[in-house]
Structure 1
Amino acid sequence: MSQRREIPLSELHRHTGEEFFTSDWLAIDAEHLSAFATASYLDAEHADLTASKNNPLGATLVDGFLLTSLLTMFHFNNSPVRGEGIYGFNYGLDRVRYTLPVFIGQNIRCVATIAEVTPRPDGTVLVTTDNTIEVEGEEKPAMVARWLSLFATREDGTNVER
């Protein structure tokens, strides 16, 4: 893994507009694509896959929602936010666009930028990141996504909106 910097959550707002992280390259493999299909009920037992089988790009095309789900792993492994008892909740996505197909065997990485940091009255911090999934050797990105994460602490449990 790449060398990571550390940023206390209380100072994250000072880094708005800056790169949050750039991940290492990750090779997408058939096993993970298959596991994703099973986990999302995209298998013959639960869905008619005729349209997917007739896909003109072929069976090695990586599902866009798999790319989106990889944001979790990229952020878990690369986020510079540090501090005792901090936890980030998925707060949602404002915009996701799939701009280039990805195929099994290609390497991808995530480049994340801090778009906005908003401290909230309940003690939580809403962090918005702009995420670009790059494909090694390609100029155009595979995906761009604006992701919102709600960071909270475990101090007494009262600062987490339910």
Structure 2
Amino acid sequence: MTPLQAAVAEAETQIGTEVGVSNWITVDQKMIDEFAKTTFDEQWIHVDPVRAAAETPFGGSIAHGFLTLSLASRFAYDCFGMLPRQVMGINYGFNKLRFLTPVRAGARLRGRFTLQNVSARSETDMLRENLLTIDIEGHDRPALIAEWLGLAVFAPK
């Protein structure tokens, strides 16, 4: 059995189960401001906490949805290591993505991963589909949910 075949067989036993929970990350105003500058999205609901507190139902500034989503890579690093003979992991995209709850400046987030499907795509690539839930500490509803696709690329034989 090749390392890829072994990885697929092992992962198949985990379908439907939570396979990782990350550490918490604080999304503070500095992070939001830096993301706004980097992406040229400096809408006041993100970068003006005083105005956002006065003029929105959020009670202050909120993180960009894409900032929240961009933390998915950090959460994955917390949860997944390299498999035997795996040479890299590649973000393959999303099937579905929903932003459910605004993330206030100062909130703490973590990612939870539930394996939904796995398959060998080629002789070197394993495709994993995880349901990613990004939790907001102290909230019942998550910030977002997404079906995230990732490739585990293995060294050729």
Q: Is the 8 A contact 2:25 2:108 kept in 1?
A: yes
Q: Is 1:20 paired with 2:16?
A: no
Alpha-carbon RMSD across the aligned residues, in angstroms, is 2.3
1:114 positional shift: 0.4
Q: Is 1:148 paired with 2:146?
A: no
Q: Letter of the 1:9 partner, please give it.
A: A
Deviations 1:24-71 (A, max 9, x none): 22111122112211221224xxxxx46866762365201111111111
User: What TM-score do the two structures reach when normalised by structure 1?
Assistant: 0.78
Q: Is the 8 A contact 2:124 2:155 kept in 1?
A: no
Instruction: Measure, in 2, the Cα distance between the counterparts of 1:150 and 1:31.
Output: 32
Percent of aligned pairs with the same amino acid: 26
Q: Letter of the 2:68 partner, please give it.
A: L
Change (3 A) 1:51 1:135: closer
Q: Is the 8 A contact 2:124 2:156 kept in 1?
A: no
Instruction: Measure, in 2, the Cα distance between the counterparts of 1:115 and 1:134.
Output: 18
Q: Letter of the 2:145 partner, please give it.
A: V
Q: Letter of the 1:27 partner, please give it.
A: T
Q: Is the 8 A contact 1:19 1:112 kept in 2?
A: yes
Q: Letter of the 1:39 partner, please give it.
A: T
Q: How many residues align?
A: 144
Q: Which residue matches 2:61? A: 60
User: What TM-score do the two structures reach when normalised by structure 2?
Assistant: 0.80
Q: Which residue matches 1:83? A: 84
Deviations 1:1-44 (A, max 9, x none): xxxxxxx734222211111101122111122112211221224x
Q: Which residue matches 2:31? A: 32
1:101 positional shift: 1.0
Which structure carries more helix by proportion?
A: 2
Change (3 A) 1:15 1:51: closer
Q: Which residue matches 1:125? A: 126
Q: Is the 8 A contact 1:108 1:136 kept in 2?
A: yes
Change (3 A) 1:69 1:112: same
Q: Which residue matches 1:93? A: 94
Q: Which residue matches 2:7? A: 9
Q: Which stretches in structure 1 are left out of the alignment for 5+ residues?
A: 1-7, 44-48, 157-162
